[in-house]
Structure 1
Amino acid sequence: MQRSLTLDCNGLPHAPTVLRIKQALVGKKAGSSRVGVLVGTDCDHARIAGSLGKLASRIELLSGPAPKTLD
């Protein structure tokens, strides 16, 4: 399945990541292209998928490096 949208949730805690994914899926028809979700390498993919339930099949979790912070 092809991705039509990629969300950058890298560095966000679990709850805001799940909320952002759910917001992106509102109004998208089931069976449409998947939503890519960029998360940090330390992100628990199984926990996010579990929190999304059936919606988890409509996303693709992609791991990336943690964002740089300004000191």
Structure 2
Amino acid sequence: MLRKKKPAFIIAFDATTQAMATDKLCAKNGLPGRLIPVPREITAGCGFAWKSAPEDKTILIEALTKEGIEWASTHILEI
């Protein structure tokens, strides 16, 4: 049986270092989400993206901005 798709907040990165810094920051601070391969629906330079629930968008963007971590784009996708 196929898994039902649900909305997800996706942060795409241009560089692997940005994706790894996000993973480290989120693990250190107990922030939600995980690294995933970039979904087919979008493009990103490094091939990694951060996935979390749509309601986590504000807290994640604030944390990345405060830490000075840049990202390429953000999306809400059904994955």
What TM-score, normalized by structure 1, do the two folds share?
0.32
The structure, 1 or 2, with the larger RCO (C-alpha pairs under 8 Å, 6+ apart) is: 2
- TM-score, length basis structure 2: 0.30
